[in-house]
Structure 1
């Protein structure tokens, strides 16, 4: 009898332990429950959007003087003294157009917008494009006036996906993939809580905590809009605001369950001061259209100077008619573009550039930085306070 009682007691105790520990395993903290809700919504939206094409326009406000000495300053003229003239000399408002094409992990980002030319002390238009076909990244830019330049190299991703011109779009449909939404990837935001209301809407605040190497970043998502991002703030390690943007989301007319950014405003700060304000408005948002492989393999125009990285070697050449190329030998690389275009390989002896070097500061776009390419600043989230001119900001 006592043995039976003991056996029953053991079974009861085991069952009680199972229920107790199972309950603990199943129970979630409110924070985990919120993150799970956001993750589920993002997974659903990501699965629903296989391909995407978005056209957009941008309006960029550059405050007076914020580019003065920011990158490689123009050399002083003989006898020039005193403070440098502010760049730009007054507040500047410039407009541009662009396009984003996405197919799985393949991407193409095109932007045609003004950049600051330190030689001319003025803005000039430039087309810059970054294309990634899954294996190869091609960076292209064509300032007007100027000449086309490209850099081709093997890569694992298109690093320009976190430019504020397109980052909200990648966050919307690839927000679970760090290689496509590095700044807005959900996995980095480990804290979650429900906060008051914004325009009478309850939001969920997600936080990427500050640590020894990075500052605190926050996202706010709207449960009433399928947990889409409506606001973001990035701070540096010292707590200074670096990037802040607000996003207006809307559902696609033909698919009310797919919420995509319709327009957004990004404010970029440097040393606590406004550096740029960029307003982006989308005009066409198309999902799941059939896309060709050629979308991600750009055809470079005749006259493009190309630097193609193959292993540890850099191949340097200019594209000519009929698919021919003019190879640029190592001892010719200091020659001017005009001399290279109008000569054959090996014709030019080592020389100093016959025309002044051009110093470009990108308004928003891609770094092409190689031997003769001095293209510097991108508007990447959380990176606008660098003092090193060759560092992406």
Structure 2
């Protein structure tokens, strides 16, 4: 009996030591580490740490994953061939209540309409023109009247969840290579316009132009992929929509954000998906479609944007369809001023 009482404390201490020693292995999430720019270590870590949909796609072991140098070379050839371009497209937008912005890529019309109380839908007409490092981005939006109980009175009780009076306006953002300007104007005559000016391209990293600019200007230091120096390839190849894909993924920045690109080596490393994540949570997902131009190669024809909402779900918020484009046609300098 006395010997048994002595054994109990010893067994308890042993179990506690065992539990503590096993604790680091109980976490199923792969920790991201800083490998001091060792490319092999970074790639290995990336391959292990693929947490999202890419890692669950069918593997393509018939070809090696593209290297960053191969991706950059393909992008450079395409960028050198296309000096200027003009695109027009239409977006069917759904603004869900609880929509969450991301800190990297602004969405102007989303930020100007608070995601309050109810879901909303809009049809938005957009254009983009680029010529060298010059850019012009525009959109028009007609926000219908919604009862708010103050400016617009609802006909029934409990319907005063709207934003009030109708707002029909245009947004024009230009950069002539030296100065940038953004003008927000009412299309109904009032109130007066607002103008913001500066020495930068105000919409150079707008989320809504990512699909086009990643095809036309992926290496531009202002409107291209600014995070290339932080990006590594890894995870092997995967099959998505019947095509072989590689991944070019940024390591997390100090605040926990990162961007991942799915690229297709057999189609000049075009970007088929553009994804923004916070820690291990996907926040933005752009799925891009292309059409083949016999002269200029693969051109974006449409895209779908899904984003995280406050309830933790991903929702499709944009369905975009390109209506027209032209490439390497002269664009007057006045359009960029």
Q: Sort the TM-score into its range (normalised by shorter chain).
A: 0.5 to 0.7
The structure whose Rg is larger is: 1
TM-score of the superposition, structure 2-length normalised?
0.65
Match 1:217 to one of 240, 249, 259: 259
Tell me if the contact between 1:245 and 1:267 (Cα under 8 Å) persists in the aligned partners: yes
* Residue 259 (1) aligns with residue 288 (2): no
| CA offsets 1:222-278 (integer angstroms, 9 cap, x no match) | 122211000121111x3222111100022224x1x5322110011122443447611
| CA offsets 1:326-358 (integer angstroms, 9 cap, x no match) | xxxxxxxxxxxxxxxxxxxxxxxxxxxxxxxxx
Greater relative CO, 1 or 2 (CA 8 Å, sep 6+): 2
Distance 1:115 1:191, change over 3 A: farther
Distance 1:268 1:126, change over 3 A: farther
**After superposition, where does 1:91-240 map in structure 2 within 5 Å?**
91-114=119-142, 121-122=162-163, 124-145=167-188, 146-156=190-200, 158-182=201-225, 186-236=228-278, 238-240=279-281
In 1: Cα distance, 2:192 partner to 2:283 partner = 32
| CA offsets 1:184-212 (integer angstroms, 9 cap, x no match) | x5444223443221122111111101132
Distance 1:106 1:290, change over 3 A: same
In 1: Cα distance, 2:112 partner to 2:302 partner = 33
Tell me if the contact between 2:304 and 2:316 (Cα under 8 Å) persists in the aligned partners: no
Match 1:269 to one of 284, 290, 308: 308
Secondary structure of the corresponding residue to residue 162 of structure 1: coil
In 2: Cα distance, 1:130 partner to 1:52 partner = 16
Which residues of structure 2 form unaligned runs of 5+? 1-42, 44-62, 101-109, 153-161
Match 1:248 to one of 280, 289, 292: 289
Q: How much does 1:94 deviate?
A: 1.2
In 2: Cα distance, 1:260 partner to 1:72 partner = 30
Aligned residues: 250
In 2: Cα distance, 1:60 partner to 1:103 partner = 28
Q: How much does 1:130 deviate?
A: 0.3
Tell me if the contact between 1:39 and 1:186 (Cα under 8 Å) persists in the aligned partners: no
Distance 1:71 1:274, change over 3 A: same
In 2: Cα distance, 1:115 partner to 1:239 partner = 35
| CA offsets 1:25-49 (integer angstroms, 9 cap, x no match) | xxxx999962122111100100010
| CA offsets 1:71-128 (integer angstroms, 9 cap, x no match) | 8999xxxxxxxxxxx8353x33211111101010100001112459887634633211
Tell me if the contact between 1:216 and 1:235 (Cα under 8 Å) persists in the aligned partners: yes
Which residues of structure 1 form unaligned runs of 5+? 1-28, 75-85, 298-393
* Residue 295 (1) aligns with residue 323 (2): no
In 2: Cα distance, 1:242 partner to 1:141 partner = 28
